[in-house]
Amino acid sequence: MPDWVHARRREIGARIRDARLNASLTQVQLGELIGRDHRTIHRWEYAFRIPDLEDLLLLADALDTPLTDLVR
Q: How confident is residue 33, by pLDDT bands cut at 50, 70 and 90?
A: very high
Has residue 42 been placed in a domain?
Answer: yes
Give the CATH number, domain containing residue 51: 1.10.260.40
Has residue 72 been placed in a domain?
Answer: no
Its domain, for residue 35, covers 3-66
Has residue 14 been placed in a domain?
Answer: yes
Q: Read off the pLDDT of each residue in 5-20 and give the average, rounded to a whole number.
A: 97
Has residue 71 been placed in a domain?
Answer: no
Q: What total of structural domains would you count in the chain?
A: 1
Residue by residue, DSSP assigns 13-32 as: HHHHHHHHHHTT--HHHHHH
Q: How confident is residue 1, by pLDDT bands cut at 50, 70 and 90?
A: confident
- Which pLDDT belongs to residue 47? 95
Q: Read off the pLDDT of each residue in 62-71 and give the average, rounded to a whole number.
A: 97
